[in-house]
C-alpha cells in the first residue's frame, strides 16, 4: 500500500539561533515521503541568510520569503497553499522532531477512523541550550483526552501544539488558520474538534523549546494584544455550542479569562468576556462587581508578582 505524503510547514520568525537545527531535524526523519515547506515571516536577525544557505544544499525545498511581517496565522496559510501532503505538521523553527516522529505518527494516523482529524503525542521540553527539563504529560499537570474533545478544549489546556499532525482536508475545510487572530492554537482546536475527533499517541516525538518571549511566555503580560484574539475565539465558541454543558464550560473559561485580563490591564477585553458571560449566566454577582471595577483599577503588578512566585524556580 502506498504510504502517504506528509507536509511539514516550517515557520520562522527571528529564530536564527535554532532554525538550522529545526530544519535538519526534518531532513533527518526516517520516513521518506516528507514535503518540507519553509516560510520566513520577515525575520531581521539573520535567519534568512541561514535559510538561504540551507536551500543551497536542498534547492528543491519550497520557500516562502515574506517581505513584511504578517504574523503566524497568515504566514502558515501561505505555506499551506503549497502543501500537497495527506497530513500536515506545523513546525516552529525552534522546536525539533525526533528522527522517527513522522513514521510513528503516520503509522498511528493510518489506523484511525476517517473521523479523526488530529493526532497529538507527548513531548519533552528543552531549554534554549537544548537541555531536557520535563515531559508534558508526565508532569502531572495535564491529562490526555481522545475522541470528541470539544467540551474539554473549551476550558482545559492539554494538547502540546507542536506535537500535532493534522489531516490536510481538515485544514482545507476550515480555510486554514484564522488570519484575523494573533495566535492560532485555541481557535484551531475549537473549530476542528467541533466536527472531528482527536487521538492521543503515548510517545515522546517532539522536543519543544522553551524560549524567552515566546507566545507561551508572553501571554497575559500587561495589555497583551493576544487577549483580544481570545475574546474572538470565545465568541466563536458561543455560536458553536450545542448544549448547556458546553455553555457551562464556556462560562468557566470566561471567568478564567476575565480574572487574568483584569489583572493585566486588558480592560477592553474584560468587557468583551463579561458580555459573553452575562449572556450565559446573568446571576453571577461577583463578576458583575468586577466589571464595575474594570476601568478603575490596575492590578497588573500584583498579577506579575503572583506569576513570579508561582513559576520562578
Per-residue DSSP letters for 160-196? -GGG-EEEHHHHHHHTSS-TTSS--HHHHHHHHHTTS
Residue scoring higher pLDDT (48 or 302): 48
- Whether the per-residue pLDDT at 125 is higher than 70: the answer is yes
- Looking at per-residue pLDDT, the higher value among 213 and 263 belongs to 263
Report, as an integer, the average pLDDT of 29-55: 98
Residues of the chain with CATH 3.90.550.10: 6-211
Rounded average pLDDT over 149-172: 98
DSSP secondary structure letter of residue 81: T
Res 187 pLDDT > 90: yes
| pLDDT number for residue 313 | 45
Return the sign of the alpha-carbon dihedral for residues 294, 259, 261, 240: negative
Phi–psi pair at 4, nearest 5 degrees: -80, 150
Asked if pLDDT for residue 287 goes beyond 70, the answer is no
Q: How far is residue 257 from each of residues 187, 253, 254, measured CA to CA in Å?
A: 15, 6, 5
More confident position, 306 or 125:
125
Q: Name the phi and psi angles at 38, rounded to 5.
A: -105, 130
Model pLDDT for residues 65-87, shown as the tens digit of each residue: 999 999 999 999 999 999 999 99
Q: What angle do CA 289, 290, 293 make, to 5 degrees?
A: 95
* pLDDT over 70 at 206, yes or no: yes
Please report which confidence band the pLDDT of residue 307 belongs to, taking 50, 70 and 90 as the band edges. Answer: low
Q: What is the mean pLDDT of the chain?
A: 90
Residue 89 parent element (H or E) = strand 87-92
- 6-211 under CATH 3.90.550.10, yes or no: yes
Indicate the range of 21-25, 104-108, 137-141, 265-269 predicted with least confidence.
137-141
Residue 91: helix, strand or coil by DSSP? strand
pLDDT for residue 290 = 55
Using CA atoms, how far apart are residues 281 and 228, in angstroms rounded to an integer?
21
Q: Is the dihedral of CA 184, 146, 174, 266 positive or negative?
A: negative
pLDDT at 129 over 60: yes
Proportion of the chain above pLDDT 90, given as a percent? 78
Q: How far apart are CA 143 and CA 199, in angstroms?
A: 13
Q: Cα 22–157–112 angle (5° rounding)?
A: 70
Looking at residue 52, its pLDDT comes to 98
Q: Is the pLDDT of residue 95 over 90?
A: yes
Residue 13 cell numbers, joined: 520568525
**What DSSP designation does 30 have?**
S
- Predicted local distance difference test score (pLDDT) of residue 176: 98
The neighbour count for residue 87, using CB atoms within 10 Å, is 25
| β-sheet bridge partners, residue 235 | none
CA distance 279 to 269: 16
Grid coordinates of 59: 534547492
Q: Is the pTM of this model over 0.85?
A: yes
HSE value, Cβ hemisphere, 13 Å, CA-based, for 93: 28
Best CA proximity match to 249, nearest among 230, 234, 229, 266:
234
State yes or no: pLDDT of 283 exceeds 70. Answer: no
User: 265: pLDDT confidence band, cut at 50, 70 and 90?
Assistant: confident
In sequence order, what DSSP letters do the residues of 96-149 get, joined into one string?
Answer: EE-TTHHHHHHHHHHTS-TTEEEEEEEEEEE-TT--EEEETTTTSS-----BS-
Beta bridge partners of 233: none
Q: Are strands 165-167 and 116-126 parallel, antiparallel or unpaired?
A: antiparallel
The phi and psi torsions of 281 (rounded to 5 degrees) equal: -135, 95
Amino acid at each position: 500500500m502506498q504510504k502517504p505524503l506528509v507536509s511539514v510547514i516550517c515557520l520562522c520568525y527571528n529564530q536564527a539561533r535554532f532554525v538550522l537545527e529545526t530544519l535538519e531535524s526534518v531532513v533527518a526523519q526516517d520516513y521518506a515521503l516528507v514535503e518540507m515547506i519553509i516560510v520566513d515571516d520577515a525575520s531581521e536577525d539573520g535567519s534568512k541568510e541561514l535559510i538561504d544557505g540551507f536551500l543551497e544544499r536542498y534547492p528543491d525545498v519550497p520557500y516562502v520569503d515574506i517581505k513584511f511581517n504578517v504574523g503566524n496565522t497568515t504566514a502558515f496559510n501561505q505555506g499551506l497553499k503549497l502543501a500537497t501532503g495527506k497530513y500536515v505538521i506545523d513546525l516552529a523553527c525552534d522546536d525539533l522532531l525526533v528522527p522517527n516522529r513522522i513514521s510513528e505518527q503516520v503509522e498511528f494516523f493510518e489506523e484511525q477512523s476517517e473521523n479523526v482529524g488530529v493526532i497529538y503525542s507527548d513531548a519533552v521540553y528543552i531549554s534554549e541550550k537544548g537541555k531536557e527539563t520535563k515531559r508534558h504529560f508526565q508532569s502531572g499537570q495535564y491529562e490526555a483526552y481522545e475522541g470528541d474533545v470539544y467540551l474539554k478544549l473549551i476550558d482545559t489546556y492539554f494538547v502540546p501544539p507542536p506535537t500535532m499532525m493534522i489531516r490536510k482536508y481538515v485544514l482545507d475545510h476550515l480555510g486554514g488558520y484564522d488570519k484575523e487572530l494573533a495566535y492560532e492554537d485555541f481557535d484551531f482546536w475549537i473549530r476542528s474538534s467541533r466536527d472531528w475527533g482527536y487521538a492521543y499517541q503515548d510517545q515522546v516525538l517532539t522536543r519543544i523549546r522553551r524560549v524567552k518571549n515566546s507566545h507561551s511566555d508572553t501571554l497575559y503580560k500587561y495589555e497583551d494584544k493576544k487577549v483580544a484574539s481570545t475574546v474572538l475565539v470565545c465568541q466563536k465558541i458561543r455560536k458553536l455550542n450545542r448544549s448547556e454543558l458546553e455553555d457551562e464550560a464556556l462560562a468557566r473559561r470566561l471567568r478564567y479569562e476575565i480574572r487574568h485580563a483584569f489583572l493585566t490591564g486588558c480592560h477592553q477585553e474584560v468587557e468583551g468576556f463579561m458580555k459573553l458571560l452575562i449572556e450565559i449566566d446573568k446571576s453571577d454577582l461577583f463578576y458583575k462587581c468586577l466589571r464595575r471595577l474594570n476601568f478603575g483599577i490596575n492590578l497588573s503588578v500584583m498579577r506579575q508578582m503572583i506569576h513570579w512566585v508561582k513559576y520562578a524556580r
